[in-house]
Amino acid sequence: MSSFRFNCFNRSGPFSLAVMLALQAAVLTVPAGAALADDNTAAADPLDSKYMTGGWGGLRGRLQDAGITPRADISSELMSVVSGGTQSGTRYSQQVRVGADFDMSKLADWNDGRVHLTINDRRGRGTSSELAGNRFPIQENYGGQYTRLTEASFDQNVLDKRFNYKLGYFAMGNDFAMTQLLTNFVNAAFCAHPLALAANSGWYNYPNARWGAELTTHITSDVLVRTGAFEVNPRLGTKAHAFSPFADGSTGTLLPVEAAYEPGANTAYPGHYKIGYYRDNSDTTELGSTTRASYRQGAYIMLDQKITTVEGDDSRGLSLFAQYMQSDRTTSAMANWFSVGAVYQGLIPARPKDTLAFGYVQAEVNEKLLSNAQLKAAAQGLDTNLTPAEKLYELSYGIQVNDWAVVRPDVQYIVDPGSFTYKHIRDVVAVGVQAKVTF
């Protein structure tokens, strides 16, 4: 069970930006026919067409046969605010991931067990934080712009694969509350969990890792239950502790449980239906008061379903998704969360792997925070007509250039971007492009 589901240069700046823009231009110039062609007939190594760096003259395949699967990729995002926000402009960000999975059944006779190691590096500047002034990050790879250890874990299937357990230092969001379909978007509000989870508790998503343990039970072939226990430690989300997984500062434990129904796997109509709950027993303060709260909690429901297909190619067709999350209003900044949208793969017959995605998401400001902000505004003689929710519309088109490169032009329209800072900011139009390359 690989946890490396999502998304080299060590520094941001003119050089890395120029290299990535040149790469984007290069892959965009590949003809559609060439992008989808099967190069295996011309290559001695079948892995040459799967990775940008190829099969390394057969070395990559030999390593995999021995139980070692190296992996590396980069995502780059160049996004511009062309209307609204606090100012117009363009910002660039990137993420590089390097790691490996070790099949311990081959390396150490640990039946059906795997070790996962990952280092993550993020660089660049934020479009939302510097230009738009909104809460939903316009670039999904912006946040924590430094190098860090993001996984050192072990997982194993037991009892005829009916159970899987995972232990170590890793991002719980790789498995919990995950909607893989939403990786077809650029804004972090979609990709690929409700932001309210991390905003309202000690929940954490990639690339933030914590110590934890989880257990997945397969009730039937398409029904599973997953639970676990994870450390809550805000200090591990800082640059100073990027490689200090044993740093002190734990405030409690987060206990999630999730049930999933996943019908249609390996068919033309796959679906995923999830319902989950979490409880964070960290001591905190109730919003708008000095009263202490002994825990934070919330629940979510998520679904996606492929509803159409194209004769002769089951991978093509329309999929729909929706998410809803409700959090404890005494402690949660985002009172509730809602998103809905659609992804169509293969809209153009000649481009069967391309994806067209459209989605809408909104998050409401906790009424206690909003009320306090209105009282402060009134005391200062300012406008008290503050907006209660930030809303986002996003449209993207993922061009699958070849097996190892995707280029995704993207447009985002953000309504009431100043909701969570209690400011009046003009609605934002942001445009740009994302590129993902697997090395």
Residue 225 predicted with pLDDT over 90? yes
Decide: 242 and 149 in contact? Cβ < 8 Å. Answer: yes
Decide: 342 and 358 in contact? Cβ < 8 Å. Answer: yes
pLDDT for the residue numbered 381: 84
Asked, for residue 291, whether it belongs to a domain, the answer is yes
Decide: 304 and 177 in contact? Cβ < 8 Å. Answer: no
294 versus 40: the higher-pLDDT residue is: 294
Q: Which residues pair with 298 in a beta bridge?
A: 278, 327
Residue 62 predicted with pLDDT over 60? yes
118-122, 176-180, 325-329, 371-375: least confidently modelled range? 371-375
Residue 374 predicted with pLDDT over 90? no
Asked, for residue 54, whether it belongs to a domain, the answer is no
86-90, 302-306, 372-376: least confidently modelled range? 372-376
Asked, for residue 42, whether it belongs to a domain, the answer is no
Residue 44 predicted with pLDDT over 80? no
Decide: 3 and 55 in contact? Cβ < 8 Å. Answer: no
Residue 33 predicted with pLDDT over 60? no
Residue 391 predicted with pLDDT over 80? yes
Residues spanned by the domain of 289? 14-30+67-438
**What's the number of domains the chain is made of?**
1
39-43, 121-125, 351-355: least confidently modelled range? 39-43
Percent of the chain with pLDDT over 90: 79
Asked, for residue 101, whether it belongs to a domain, the answer is yes
Over range 414-434, report the average pLDDT.
97
Asked, for residue 37, whether it belongs to a domain, the answer is no
Asked, for residue 199, whether it belongs to a domain, the answer is yes
Residue 431 predicted with pLDDT over 70? yes
Residue 409 predicted with pLDDT over 70? yes
Taking the mean position of all CA atoms in its chain, how far away is CA 116? 18
Q: What is the CATH number of the domain that holds 337?
A: 2.40.160.180
pLDDT category at 222 given cuts 50, 70, 90 is very high
Residue 174 predicted with pLDDT over 90? yes
394 versus 8: the higher-pLDDT residue is: 394
Residue 267 predicted with pLDDT over 70? yes
**DSSP per residue, 70-136:** EEEEEEEEEEEEEEEES--EEEEEEEEEEEEEEEHHHHS--TTEEEEEEEEEEEE--HIIIII--SS
Over range 268-281, report the average pLDDT.
97
pLDDT for the residue numbered 312: 87
Asked, for residue 374, whether it belongs to a domain, the answer is yes
pLDDT for the residue numbered 123: 98
Asked, for residue 313, whether it belongs to a domain, the answer is yes
Over range 52-66, report the average pLDDT.
96
Whole-angstrom Cα distance, residue 135 to residue 130? 11
